[in-house]
Amino acid sequence: MAYDQPGRGCPAEMARVLGFCVDRWEVSLVDQTTGADLSPYYPPHPTLIQRVRVVWEIEREQFGGEAARRMPLPDLPAIQRTGRFVPRAVSRPGTVPQGYLTYYLARTACENAGKRLCTEAEWVTACRGEQGRAHPYGATYEAARCNVHRAQHPAFVLHANSSAGHTDPRLNLVVEAGADPLLRLTGATPTCRSTWGDNGVFDMVGNVDEWIADEAGVFVGGFYARATTKGCDARISNHSPSYYDYSLGTRCCRDADRAAVATRTQ
């Protein structure tokens, strides 16, 4: 797996930020044992997958216009159809980031990767970059620099109601006019880059909201259709940690490897 030079004491998919490492890209998920990709369009839990599929095989026929009703549910990988899988977080460019995460599923996926959820202080520090700016790219909000505050809302497109049906597994497949997906691949918005040395940390604002290490249930950053201009200070705390919907993902942190740092500096 070859990326840019990793931060000192951090794996290649992570950047070193002061004394810790942070994933450079929002997580996608694989099965812990087989390494098979899990679907980013379903919650990575057998019971929740079954619930979502049963509901939306029916409900998709009840909402929106004719084109929306004809849109099928995304396929479910074979490993998830068995119900026997364990989610592990991976961070890599050019993939669909995982949505539909509860706090507990996000925490477990990071722990299964030998990492952990970021604390709020770590997450905000990483987002602000070396220069400590309010947004990954600068001091003030600039439209379209990060994938946030989009004009379209996927639930309005599919359900004619932005507040309805947020567990629909089709929501993150909606594209804007001109074939620009509302949810973009990891790292596909290069202007939304938080800089740490030679490393970039991508999409900390926009794309998907990201759970952090707060058992009360806090997610940060704003997702693509959230009408926020708060940048690295965007924060939601009014959902329980068991809440999930299409807009909720995460990225992982871990402590920097002090032994590796010492070896590199000798």
Mean pLDDT of 190-202: 95
Q: Per-residue pLDDT tens for 232-252?
A: 999 999 999 999 999 999 999
Q: Which is more confident, 178 or 208? A: 208
pLDDT score of 63 more than 90: no
Q: Classify domain 14-265 by CATH architecture.
A: Alpha-Beta Complex (3.90)
Tell me how far apart the alpha carbons of residues 39 and 74 are, in angstroms, rounded to a whole number. Answer: 9
Contact 145, 192 (CB under 8 A): yes
User: What pLDDT was estimated at residue 7?
Assistant: 54
Split at pLDDT 50, 70, 90, the class of 198 is confident
Please answer whether residues 127 and 232 qualify as being in contact, where contact means their C-beta atoms are separated by less than 8 angstroms.
Answer: yes
Question: Residue 258: its pLDDT value, please?
Answer: 56
Arithmetic mean of pLDDT, 71-81: 97
Q: Is the pLDDT score of 176 beyond 90?
A: no
Percentage above 70 pLDDT, the chain? 94
Prediction pTM value: 0.93
CA distances to 107, 144, 228 from 25, rounded to whole Å, are 16, 18, 21
Pair 7, 14: CB distance under 8 Å: yes
pLDDT attached to residue 214: 98
pLDDT recorded at residue 265: 30
Q: Domain extents for the chain?
A: 14-265
Position 203 pLDDT exceeds 60:
yes
Closest CA to 87 of 111, 109, 117: 109
What is the pLDDT at residue 177? 76
How is residue 233 written in tokens? Answer: 């200070």
Q: What is the mean pLDDT of residues 214-240?
A: 98
Residue by residue, DSSP assigns 233-262 as G-EE--S-TT---TTEE--EEEE--HHHHH
